[in-house]
Structure 1
Amino acid sequence: MARFNIRTAKPKSTSRVTSTGRVLRTCEGGRGRERDARSELFLLAVANFVSQNTFYETGADRDDRFAALVRRLAVEDPSWTAGLLGWLRGEGNLRTASIVGAAEYVKARLDAGATEGPANREVVASVLRRPDEPGELLAYWTSRYGRNVPKPVKRGVADAVRRLYHGASLLKYDTASKGYRFGDILNLVHAAPDPDKPWQGDLFRYALDRRHNPDTAVPPASNRVLVAHRELMALPVAERRAVVTAPDGPERLRAAGLTWEALAGWLQGPMDRAAWEAVIPSMGAMALVRNLRNFDEAGVSDEVAARVAARISDPAEVARSRQFPFRYLAAYQHAPSLRWAYPLEKALAHSLANVPALGGRTLVLVDRSGSMFYSRLSERSELNRADAAAVFGTALALRAADADLVEFGTSSEPVRFRRGESVLRVLERFGDLGGTDTSAAVRRHYRKHDRVLIVTDEQAMYSHHGDPTEQVPADVPVYTWNLAGYRPGHGPSGTPHRHTFGGLSDAAFRMVPLLEEARDADWPWAS
């Protein structure tokens, strides 16, 4: 009789976040699992806004743990670590963690005399993707390791400078509030102009002159943006308001690279309706989303508001802006006018494009414990991990063929929803449920589902029934989506049917269909 070579036989899939087998205690005293160094760093990196406190860890402790893991793996596994850092700044969309990681990568390898693996210069350049980031990396390095900047850092920064510096970036990011101005960076790294950009030599000279002789620096005639900006700056204050009300006002502001942040200072007066309507055409989608309340308070017209709504809900604009999905929830909560509700719902849906439509029956458990509410996701956000968990869990439940959506803490309750309902409306039904009795929630609500997905920080309380994954039969997949990156996990991972992934974007959902198709889910930058 055939035992293995039968049509129903499937290979057992594995995921890369892997437990070591060593038992730890969670921060709430539950039975937890240690993960290997690569898994711990990955989950911390994709959930970490540098220097931000969390419920169980201070920002300083998290930063130290992150830096220590990067330094260790930069020597032990440089190719994997370099891949993580490049992906983190790219698809992962986490700027500061990738910049810090690149600096620590180089420092560890220089200290160890390591030469195998990706070049230090290339790793530095790979994480610098916005014109202000060369200064960010140099500021981090010198504050931590002194003003002696090694050649690989200088050369990586110089590569980025040639790629990123242009007239508009100079106007937006080369401001007096920066510790490292563009001219300072050019002096330090000695970046030569890109041969394929004949105008860049004039730009570099102007950046240096603007830094050291600001009163006499004259922008090069070859750079139209800088010339147009200088002309606007030279206008008497009394004549500036007329620019924004003129028919060609929006185009003049755009041509001069005048951002919405700089416009109020240039006008030396309030950002009224006319000012906003003049600058809105040159604003990016992310800036539009952040300023919906300001548009309402200034009374922008319905016609202009309709154009804003069309842009922020356009799928191409959403993809280009690379906003985390929960940013749209923040905008929805803070924009007073209902005219933004439907565009934000559409934008949120586009930002969750990777959420799969799972077949069969799915149990989705969303962690609404106190630790998930404790800290904001970043210093510029009022949202927390509980909000992010609710966004992802709700989106998954709404798209699944048959799903039960549950919020849990000390207790647990179903969250009611109807197929086709608005994600933003369902989110209003979630509450704050105190502690983290994950095992009890799984035991109470698991009813022969085909899979269980838990969105959580994994810091479960002790249960005499065992860890949360033990409440589900061994042949039923349990997916843990970690949103905090603490060291101990609430159950095993990397074994058949027990998988952990993490992050603050919908990209993590890509693992679920792969694993259910019995295909191994590799690290995101290797797949």
Structure 2
Amino acid sequence: MRFNFSFRKNKPAQVVNHEGAPAYQLTPALELYAAVATAALSDQFYEMADTRLKRLRALVAQNDPRFVAQLAVYAREQLYLRSVPLVLAVELAQVHRGDNLVSCLVARVVQRADEITELLAFYAVANQRQGVKTLNRLSKQLQKGLALSFNRFDGYQLAKYDRAGQVRLRDALFLVHPNAKNAEQQALFDQLVRGELPTPYTWETELSALGQQTFTDATERQTAFRQKWVELIGSRKLGYMALLRNLRNILEAEVSAGAVEQVCAALTDRVAVARSKQLPFRYLAAYRELLQVRSGFVPTVLAALETAIGHSIENLRCFGPGTRVVVACDVSGSMQQPVSQRSKVLLYDIGLVLGMLLQSRCSHVVTGMFGDTWKRVALPKGQVLRNVQEFYRREGEVGYSTNGHLVVRELREQQEQVDKVMLFTDCQLWDSTGRHSTLAQEWREYRRTVAPQARLYLFDLAGHGAAPVEVREQDGVALIAGWSDKVFDVLQALENGGSALTEIEKIEL
């Protein structure tokens, strides 16, 4: 079904953004989608984490409960986000009752054992409760959904994620009282209660055990860790994300050429890439770590990462050779913000990666960056991560304001006809020159005088709740949000006459 609330009948209210520049309020559904798709639930340049949570809570109450549930599933299964779907489930339980929508949602979005305890920890915060004992009045639908989730996990998964924290899996077991599927699972639950689950074989437990051993000297220690990495690589029990995160450690351990060959084969395996569901910026983070390593194998592994990120978008259906595309990346000061407190990756990096992925699949494309000024940067296709690094090296050349209107102004002044203008930005655009020019004004003039059929795509990387241009089909303006390569699925839906919410509305519950 399609939801009527996806579109406003009346003209959206014009508001101001965080820089005080004119902006347009999004519909409740579009605003919730953008806020969810860009939620790291940590402090951002313009918005603290608590503010984002309060806004999410208000938006959940404004939207149709079924849409909220579909969005939560979409965020978990398509955008590969873990925390925000749990937040949506808890908040939906606060405002929706009378059916099993919430329990079905919880059972769907809880896909790792530690997400059971994460959901309960957030439930305690959301309901202002302190300690495990205060959770005994848990929402019945949340309780039912978590009980169903427990049945999904085997002993390995329960042991792997039975970690110390505000709520442990043992506490959760007592709270939700899952019915074991059989005697074998009941035995696992009993072991969990007694703290007797066998220690699982993981790279973390193996390296932790090795780190507790005593070595006679640094050489013996280096040899032991080299052998352990070779063993882990050969065991094929090192998951894809673990491999990405540990490339630097592996090379610094000076593993053999054969081990490096196995690493590269695992990185570039098409099936493994598809199954791993890595966000594109994970490849960039690994790439940058390797640039700091002194090893003759670095070029080989860098090439493998380029191949891997290429595999990750093999299904991207881009535009034909006759379609003229402009890809413009925001490199302003507010984009120099980490996506989370534990990450070195910036919003700016995400915009560059997504922009270069798009560039790699377009035949007729202009790429560039904007800050105080707009500058075209011609780069070869096929080297996504290398091109991102080239942008990163040159970002100071355009300054740090957010004059995104200059992208379109140049097209208008040069009478240059293009079909698609793609802006990767946090949408906090403003005119630092004092002339009070706006992207909305420039876009209207460009469509009126140069290219009436041109389309403007705003890739919102921050989800602050407003857009610099009114998002309307008749004006050729669309908004897409998120950090995943799935933004290109939304792009395809738009090209087929849908909306940014079409992909979400396809979710079956």
Residues 339, 131 of structure 1: alpha-carbon distance in 2 compared, 3 angstrom cutoff = same
Within 2, Cα distance between the matches of 1:397 and 1:382? 24
Aligned partner of 2:119 in structure 1 is 137
Match of 1:311 in 2: 266
Residue number in structure 2 paired with 1:182: 169
Q: Tell me whether 1:264 sits opposite 2:207 in the alignment.
A: yes
CA RMSD after TM alignment: 2.2
Following superposition, the deviation at residue 471 of structure 1 comes to 4.8
Aligned to 2:217: none
**Displacement of 1:445 after TM fit?**
4.1
2:140 corresponds to: 151
CA distance in 1 between partners of 2:117 and 2:5 (Å): 37
Q: Which residues in structure 2 correspond to 1:27-38 (within 5 Å)? A: 27-38=18-29
Residue matched to 2:465: 487
The aligned counterpart of 1:24 is 15
Counterpart in the other structure of 2:342 = 380
> Structure 1, unaligned stretches of length 5 or more?
1-13, 211-216, 220-225, 230-256
Please say if residues 493 and 503 of structure 2, whose CA atoms lie closer than 8 Å, have aligned partners that are also in contact. no
Q: Does 1:167 align with 2:155?
A: yes
Partner deviation per Cα, 1:228-275 (whole Å, 9 max, x = no partner): x5xxxxxxxxxxxxxxxxxxxxxxxxxxx3211111332323561011
Q: Could you report, residue by residue, the CA deviation over 1:406-440 in whole angstroms, capped at 9, with x for unpaired residues?
A: 1001111111112x441122112211430100112
Supply the distance in 1 between the matched residues of 2:481 and 2:33 (Cα, whole angstroms). 8
1:341 pairs, out of 302, 305, 311, with: 302
CA distance in 2, matches of 1:143, 1:417: 48
Q: Distance in 2 between matches of 1:143 and 1:513?
A: 39
Pairwise mapping of residues 37-436 of structure 1 onto structure 2 (< 5 A)? 37-50=28-41, 52-73=42-63, 77-109=64-96, 114-115=97-98, 119-145=101-127, 146=129, 147=134, 148-164=137-153, 166-175=154-163, 177-195=164-182, 198-210=183-195, 217=196, 226=198, 229=199, 257-267=200-210, 268-269=212-213, 272-280=225-233, 281-335=236-290, 336=293, 337-359=298-320, 360-373=323-336, 375-418=337-380, 420-430=381-391, 431-432=395-396, 433-436=399-402
Checking the alignment, whether the CA contact within 8 Å between 1:16 and 1:521 is kept in structure 2 is no
Deviations 1:159-207 (A, max 9, x none): 101112x1211221113x2332222211111111124xx4211101111
Alpha-carbon distance between aligned partners in 2 of 1:20 and 1:458, rounded to the nearest angstrom: 19
1:120-157 CA-partner distances (Å, limit 9, x unpaired):
21122222111111111111112331223122111111
Contact 1:314–1:347 (CA under 8 A) maintained in structure 2: yes
CA distance in 2, matches of 1:445, 1:274: 58
- Give TM-score, length-normalised by structure 2: 0.85
Deviation at 1:108, TM superposition (A): 2.2
Cα distance in 2 for residues equivalent to 1:49 and 1:188:
28
CA offset at residue 67 of structure 1?
2.1
Structure 2: stretches of 5+ with no match in the other structure = 214-220
Alpha-carbon distance, 1:34 to partner: 0.5
Aligned length: 457
| Aligned residue among 498, 510, 517 for 2:477 | 498
Distance 1:405 1:483, change over 3 A: same
Which sits farther off after the overlay, 363-372 or 331-340?
Answer: 331-340
Quickly say closer, same or farther: Cα 1:332–1:17, change in 2 above 3 A. Answer: farther
The percent of aligned pairs where both chains have the same amino acid is 30
Partner of 2:438: 466
CA offsets per residue over residues 74-128 of structure 1, 9 Å max, x none? xxx111111111111111211111111111110222xxxx426x52211222221
Aligned residue type for 1:427 = V
* Separation (CA, whole Å) in 2 of partners of 1:298 and 1:86: 40
Q: Distance in 2 between matches of 1:512 and 1:206?
A: 48
**Alpha-carbon distance in 1 for matches of 2:354, 2:324:** 17
Matched, 1:516 2:495: yes
Check 1:481–1:20 CA distance in 2 against 1; reply closer, same or farther (3 A cut).
farther
SS of residue paired to 1:21: coil
| Counterpart AA for 2:408 | V
> Using a 3 Å threshold, how does the CA distance of structure 1 residues 459 and 15 change in structure 2: closer, same or farther?
farther
Counterpart Cα distance in 1 of 2:34 and 2:473: 17
Whole-angstrom CA distance in 2 between matches of 1:454 and 1:31: 17
Q: 1:522 to 1:108 in 2, by over 3 A?
A: closer
SS in 1 for 2:360: helix
Matched letter for residue 62 of structure 1: R
**Kindly tell me: are residues 16 and 454 of structure 1, through their superposed partners in 2, closer, same or farther at Cα, counting changes over 3 Å?**
farther
Larger CA deviation: 140-149 vs 151-160: 140-149
Is the partner of 1:55 in helix, strand or coil? coil
Q: 1:442 & 1:369 partners in 2: Cα distance?
A: 17
Matched, 1:444 2:410: yes
- The answer to whether the 8 A contact 2:60-2:92 is kept is yes
C-alpha distance 159-519 of structure 1, shift in aligned 2 (>3 A): closer
Q: Distance in 1 between matches of 2:346 and 2:7?
A: 24
Question: Offset at 1:379?
Answer: 2.7
Give the C-alpha shift of residue 458 in structure 1: 0.8
- Do 2:478 and 2:500's aligned partners in 1 also have CA atoms closer than 8 Å? no
- 1:17: how far off? 7.4
2 CA distance for matches of 1:32 and 1:183? 49
- Residues 442-474 of structure 1: per-residue CA shift (max 9 Å, x gap): 212452111211111111104644334335304
**Aligned residue in 2 for 1:454:** 423
For the Cα contact (< 8 Å) 2:37–2:482, is it kept in 1?
Answer: yes
What is the Cα deviation at residue 403 of structure 1?
A: 0.6
Contact 2:332 2:371 survives alignment (8 Å): yes
Instruction: Check 1:354–1:406 CA distance in 2 against 1; reply closer, same or farther (3 A cut).
Output: farther
Alignment-derived partner of residue 218 in structure 2: none
Q: Given that residues 6 and 27 in structure 2 are in contact (C-alpha distance below 8 angstroms), is that contact kept between their aligned partners in structure 1?
A: no
